[in-house]
Amino acid sequence: MLIRTEIGVDAPSIDSLLRRCFASSAEAELVQQLREDGLLTLGVVATDDEGQVLGYAAFSPVTLNGEDKQWVGLAPLAVDESVRGQGLGKQLIYEGLDTLNEFGYAAVVVLGDPAFFGRYGFEPASRHQLRCHRPETEATFQVYKLADEALVGVEGNIEYSTPFNRS
């Protein structure tokens, strides 16, 4: 399995993976919209020998109190059922964090199960007085600091980009 940054020809295979992995087409449509709107900061794929995408992680910009602080949100993350439990999810997350760190991004947020993302260094955003604008997300909203000072003196509302409001 190869873990690398998404390129143009991966789009149909990513779309197919997301439609297989989630109960609705919302995630696939979200990624299409982010791509169309130029809001895919980074996409990381896991591909097999034939180039088929079996894992995917997307990162797109979020704002803090309406300001661009070079923060991004991780969503969606998906691994094909046939290859789950082999560490692909972990590799996609780490590859994404490494690349974003190299690019100079400051922090990554995620809405997801703390039992999963907590393993990879994400911590509750509420610990830093950070909230997601979506209701009832206090327990699942998490943050990962890339830049040393990213979480110093911050608090407030994180907002995802417009395509997330449609999904």
Ligand X SMILES: CC(C)(COP(=O)(O)OP(=O)(O)OC[C@H]1O[C@@H](n2cnc3c(N)ncnc32)[C@H](O)[C@@H]1OP(=O)(O)O)[C@@H](O)C(=O)NCCC(=O)NCCS
Residues that bind ligand X (CB under 6 A): 21, 76-79, 84-90, 112-113, 115-116
| C-beta closer to ligand X: residue 26 or 147 | 26
Q: Which is nearer to ligand X, 16 or 147 (CB)?
A: 16
- Min dist. Cβ of residue 139 to ligand X (A): 13
* DSSP state letters, 52-111: -EEEEEEEEEEEETTEEEEEEEEEEEEE-GGGTTSSHHHHHHHHHHHHHHHHT--EEEEE
Burial class of residue 164 (count of CB atoms within 10 Å of its CB; 0-12, 13-18, 19+)? buried
Nearer to ligand X, 112 or 124 (CB): 112
For the bound state, the minimum distance from the C-beta of residue 148 to ligand X, rounded and expressed in Å, comes to 26
Q: 43: helix, coil or strand?
A: strand
Residue 76 CB, shortest distance to ligand X, in Å, is: 6
Question: Which of residues 115 and 152 has its CB atom nearest to ligand X in the complex?
Answer: 115
Token pair, residue 30, equals: 């979200």
Residue number of the CB atom closest to ligand X? 89
Bridge partners of 141, per DSSP, are: 111
Q: Nearest distance from residue 152's CB to ligand X, in Å?
A: 27
Cα–Cα distance measured from residue 102 to residue 98, given in angstroms and rounded to the nearest whole number: 6
